[in-house]
Amino acid sequence: MAAHARSILTSNSLTIPVADAKLMLGTWQGLYLYEHRHAGHARSVVITVIGDR
């Protein structure tokens, strides 16, 4: 599949509410990291926490 089509079907950023140090995901929700390449590469995940505490 062409890269532009894959980028439409998957996103590259996500906002998830956090309460009491836990992700507020629904019963059937989860987080998945999908690699579009045939071979693995070193990846880094950047997490930015914005809050009022």
20 lies in some domain: yes
Which residue range forms the structural domain that includes residue 1?
1-36
51 lies in some domain: no
48 lies in some domain: no
pLDDT at residue 27 in the model: 93
Q: Which letter, b or e, does each residue of 7-30 get, where b requires 16 or more Cβ atoms within 10 Å of its Cβ?
A: eeeeeeeeeeeeeeeeeeeeeeee
pLDDT at residue 26 in the model: 92
pLDDT at residue 53 in the model: 65
Q: What is the tens place of the pLDDT at every residue in 5-47?
A: 777 777 777 888 888 888 999 999 988 777 767 777 787 888 8
Tell me the pTM. Answer: 0.53
pLDDT at residue 33 in the model: 75
- Beta bridge partners, 22, equal 19
What is the DSSP pairing of strand 18-19 with strand 22-23? antiparallel
How many domains, in total, are found in the chain? 1
Task: Map residue 19 onto helix, strand or coil.
Answer: strand
